[in-house]
Amino acid sequence: MKKTMISLTRMLCAAVAVLLLAASLGGCAEKLPEMKTSLSYESRVRGGYPGGTCWNDFIVLKTGTIFNRQTGELLREFCEDPECDGSCIWESGGIEVQAVRDGRIYFSLFGAGNRKDIYYCYRSILTGENVILYTMQMDNRSGSGRVFEVDDGWIYFTEKRLDEQSNPNLPESYTEVVYRVPVDGGEREEVYELREGEGCAMVLDGRMFTKLEDVFYITELATMEQSVYHSGACPPLPVFPMGAYIDGKFISAAILEQTEMHLIVVDEQTRECKVVGDVPVRNYCITNDAIYFWPVDPHQINDPSIYPPESDGYVAIGDSPTLFACDLDGENIRKVWTEQTGLLEYAGDCTIVDGVLYGWMREFDLKTNAFGERFFAEIHFDTGEIIRAIEVE
């Protein structure tokens, strides 16, 4: 099912633009491509971005939603067959977007057709074509199947390899290995054999970051030379450098003070760790010029679909109605937006481009303390306008 954003101004502008372009081309209007982009924006954020990202005029969320800022079209399904009953692998599995590069959405597809296999795929934003690059057959000993990064024409992931002359029924007979596959298709190549207890955190610009106990290593993939990147100290570092990378900064979330999640920024040159602000955060997203985050805000929830109306409900840890931002170095914290109408933003599935938030939200009634409908919308911070999506058959 597809959704579209209804905006009279946007529709009129698009219609005028098409008419003018058709007139300028005479009788060649039928040869125009179906979809155009303004080449207006491309995210520089690398690594495991939270929420979503943007390529040209296309918002791509972590869960696979694609929204065209120019036309208002909202696409949730990856299957292009209008007769599909939902049983194909593109509709019956879960999607996790890993990266967007050069008009391709690279994603993991899991649980498709009630199978355990994990598929590494890409989807062309402009043509809608889906391509499977590699299939990991998930028996009870396979790797996690996480795509760490799309880097220099390759996708990287881990998979467990059966050691020679070993019993395949024993877990200790397997070694976890970092592999890669060309983004245009080809054979799997072995990159690096992980030591026992070692994990791969990120592949970035020809460098692979791994962690073994309290030591982070960096391996130059061209030469396979390995050196210590960081060792010990700094409490936030148990998760560093997993997360995102932009302009020489690693940005991630760390659990501090037992259960509270805080944002941290690590400068690649100085290796200095900075905790952003003094309050725990619930969700965040990273753009080319700022880090946006929502502090934790407990809500009393009285949801009749979960608890009967006469009950006391429960307290849920949700997002604060106030959105904050800071520079990419963690400095200059400021308020950006406060929601006054009772909407509870799902900041973990959204992104912000040019002062506009795009993403999924859910109504929250401040009088009854109950959840309402979930919907996709744009929030324009400068005017306060909320443009909401509606179902279109």
Domains by residue range for the chain, with CATH:
86-232 (2.120.10.30), 235-393 (2.40.128)
8 Å CB contact between 75 and 2: yes
Report residue 173: phi and psi, to 5°. Answer: -85, 0
pLDDT at 185: 92
The amino acid that residue 61 corresponds to is: L
Give the integer Cα–Cα distance in Å for 283 and 288.
Answer: 17
Q: Which residues contact 170 (CB under 8 A, 6 or more apart)?
A: none
End-to-end CA distance of the chain: 7
- The whole-angstrom separation of Cα 346 and Cα 361 is 5
How far apart, in whole angstroms, are the C-alpha atoms of residue 42 and residue 48? 16
Over the stretch 182-198, which tens digit does the pLDDT of each residue have? 999 999 999 999 998 88
pLDDT recorded at residue 46: 84
Pairing of strands 2-5, 386-391: antiparallel
pLDDT digits (tens, 9 = 90+) for 44-97: 888 766 678 888 889 998 888 888 888 888 887 787 777 777 778 887 778 888
Q: Look at residue 387 in the predicted model and tell me its pLDDT.
A: 83
Q: Which residues pair with 221 in a beta bridge?
A: none
CA–CA distance, 241 with 48 (Å, rounded to integer): 10
Alpha carbon distance 101, 81 (integer Å):
25
Work out the number of other CB atoms within 10 angstroms of the CB of residue 381.
15
From the list 41, 32, 30, the residue with the least C-alpha distance to 67 is 41
Residues ≥6 apart with Cβ < 8 Å to 14: 70, 71
Say which residues have a Cβ less than 8 Å from residue 109's Cβ, sequence separation at least 6. Answer: 89, 90, 93, 94, 95, 118, 119, 120, 121
- pTM (two decimals): 0.79
Strand partners, 121: 107, 132
Report the alpha-carbon distance of residue 101 to residue 220 in Å, rounded: 22
Find tokens 């009953």 and name the residue: 85
Question: CA 351, CA 287: separation in Å to the nearest integer?
Answer: 8
Strand partners, 75: 2, 66
- Contact criterion met (CB below 8 Å) for 156 and 179: yes
**pLDDT at res. 309:** 61
The SS3 assignment for 351 reads strand
CA distance 333 to 312: 37
Q: 298 is written with which tokens?
A: 């407990």
Asked if 118 contacts 138 with a C-beta cutoff of 8 angstroms, the reply is yes
pLDDT at site 207: 92
Sheet strand arrangement including 130-136: 94-101, 104-110, 118-124, 130-136
Beta-carbon contacts of residue 389 (< 8 Å; ≥ 6 apart): 3, 4, 5, 6, 74, 375, 376, 377
Name every residue whose Cβ is closer than 8 Å to that of residue 149 and which is 6 or more positions away in sequence. Answer: 46, 47, 98, 99, 155, 156, 202, 203, 204
Q: How many residues does the chain have?
A: 393
Residues of the chain where predicted confidence (pLDDT) is lower than 50: 1-38, 235-238, 347, 391-393
SS3 assignment, position 255:
strand
Burial class (CB in 10 A: 0-12, 13-18, 19+), 38: exposed
User: Residue 192's CB: how many other CB atoms inside 10 A?
Assistant: 21
Q: How far apart are the C-alpha atoms of 53 and 107, rounded to whole Å?
A: 13
